[in-house]
Amino acid sequence: MSHASVSSTARFGSLYWAIQAKRNIGVRGLFVVVLAFMVAYGFLFHGLFTGSGFAKFTQSWFPLALVAMAQAILMLTGGISLAIGALVSLGAVLAATTMTGPLGVAGGAALVSLVGLGIGAVTGVIVVKLRLPAIVVTLAGSFIIAGAALLVLPRPGGAIPPWLSDLLAGNTPAAFGVLVVVVLLWKLYLATPLGLSLYAAGENPVGAYRSGVPVDAARIAAYAISGLLCTGAGLFVAAQTGSGDPIIGNSFTLNSIAAAVLGGIGFLGGQGTMRGALAGSLLLSLMISVMFFLGFTPVAQYVAQGLIIIGAVAIPQFRMRAR
């Protein structure tokens, strides 16, 4: 590792990279586990390392990665959202009802983004400014948003232009490319003062406030970004299935929490990293696929997922107590 020598020399521009290297330390173990699962999955499913196999796998991972990020941002601020699934559904039905209409693909995508940002921002204002518990506000919000999705499209239907479906969910790794761009944008956000404040605002809000951090703004921005990621995931899910379904997002709420927790994001705020959450979502995605190939019934999969979440929460606790 080079960071130790770098920061002691005068090459100050490398402070950023030294900090990034330090952030890997907590998630190295997780990366190893993910790699092991990847190899196991490669054995079960030989097509993984072909072009289309990789494309298909990353497509099944992509929406989970987005909602894991959406959940992780909020958990880093000390919040949580139970409206993730409903927002995914809303994004999906909005995309399926507008993209073949007069708005077109660009207009539809803009609408989906704006609705996600808007609902997220409103939720953030309610939670942060009115000082209401996030878990209650987002649970209530999930019913309102799910209702809105049903109003837009009461039963599965609508359509996504086939070329868009082919582009995002065809045989090319376009989804993976989009994910790389999303991650890069996140790194950029985290390099702004507001983005970096997220950690301080989540872990030590009083200290952050005293230090001059705009704590409220950082938290509200996190809710808005989280909403955008959710409806974006919904758009992708609609493209995958070629149509809209008002309840398609339901399973994402629990899975987003599972992925974030697997990735080492703590419930108390400010603990964990986004790369951890992404690795967590990849691990969860692999586990779901492996269970599928091993012939687990859907019910058994839910039981296994529940056990995995409890285990993921318990392991760091036990490790801390052992110290």
Partner 1 sequence: MVSSAPILAARGVSKAFFGNPVLRSVSISLEPGRIHALLGENGAGKSTLINLLSGALRPDSGTIEIDGRAVSRHSPPEARRAGIAVVQQELSLTNSLSIAENIGLGAYPRRFGLVDYAALAARAKAACDLVGLHEPLATPVGELSLGRRQMVEIAKALYRKPRVLILDEPTSSLSATETRILTALLEKLRGEGIAILYISHRLDEVMQLCQHVTVLKDGTCTADRPLEGVTAAGLVRLMVGRDPGDLFPRWDSTRTERIAVSVGKFSAGLMQDVDLEVRAGEVVGIGGLVGQGQEDLLLGLYGAIPARAASAVINDASGLPSNVPQANSRGLAYVPADRKREGLHLIHPIVTNLMLPSFARMPALKLRSRAKERETAMGLALQFAIKGDLGRAAQALSGGNQQKVALAKWMPLDPSVLLLNDPTRGVDVETKREIYAMLRAFAASGKAVVLLSSDTPELVHLCDRVAVVRDGRIVSLLERGDLSEEAIVAAAMGAERERQAA
Residues forming contacts to partner 1 in the complex (CB under 8 A) are 3-4, 7-8, 12-13, 15-16, 18-19, 21-22, 188, 191-193, 196-197, 199-200, 203-204, 206-213, 270-272
Residue with smaller CB distance to partner 1, 119 or 208 = 208
For 94, counting Cβ atoms within 10 Å of its Cβ (0-12 exposed, 13-18 middle, 19+ buried), the class is buried
Least separation in angstroms between residue 18's CB and partner 1 is: 4
Residue with smaller CB distance to partner 1, 16 or 302 = 16
CA distance 130 to 140: 15
Q: Position of tokens 């986004």?
A: 274
Cβ(262)–Cβ(27) under 8 Å?
no
Least separation in angstroms between residue 269's CB and partner 1 is: 10
The residues, ordered by sequence, that sit 6+ positions from 209 with a Cβ below 8 Å of its Cβ are 215
R_g over Cα of the chain = 20
Least separation in angstroms between residue 251's CB and partner 1 is: 30
| β-strand partners of 244 | 157
Least separation in angstroms between residue 271's CB and partner 1 is: 6
Residue with smaller CB distance to partner 1, 22 or 155 = 22
Cβ(10)–Cβ(260) under 8 Å?
no
Residue with smaller CB distance to partner 1, 2 or 52 = 2
Residue with smaller CB distance to partner 1, 199 or 236 = 199
